[in-house]
Amino acid sequence: DIQMTQSPSSLSASVGDRVTITCRASQSIRSNLSWYQQKPGKAPKLLIYAASSLQSGVPSRFSGSGSGTDFTLTIISLRPEDFAIYFCLQSYSPPFTFGPGTKVDIK
């Protein structure tokens, strides 16, 4: 099975900050990597698919990059509504696996 790691596990940031979250796969997953935002009591929301494509309706301050084993989610100019938990997912080969998540909270 493909293992996914994420770093950091949590971070504190201020409104307006630039935030970078990384995700690493235990083997190449090409570009089959997506990013999700989850707020308390809510379902996850797709932000980025195919490693770098912005899902329709998602603000352009979110971006993704990477391929193979190393991936990055960047939020430029953090807004109050961005404080949440972020997960990556590999959908290259079942069983699909999520990263453990990164909690972004207010500094």
Q: Which residue ranges make up the site for another protein (CB under 8 A)? A: 1, 32, 34, 36, 38, 43-46, 49-50, 53, 55, 87, 89, 91-92, 94-101
Provide the minimum distance between the beta carbon of 107 and another protein in the complex, in angstroms, as a whole number.
23
37 with 22: CB under 8 angstroms? no
Residue 16 or residue 41: which is nearer to another protein going by CB? 41
Are the C-beta atoms of residues 36 and 47 closer than 8 Å to each other? Answer: yes
Compute the least distance from the CB of residue 11 to another protein, in Å: 16
Nearer to another protein, 17 or 46 (CB): 46
3-class state of residue 100 by DSSP: coil
Q: How distant is the alpha carbon of residue 20 from its chain centre?
A: 9
Cα–Cα distance between 88 and 51 in angstroms, integer? 10
Q: How far is the CB of 10 from another protein (least distance, A)?
A: 13
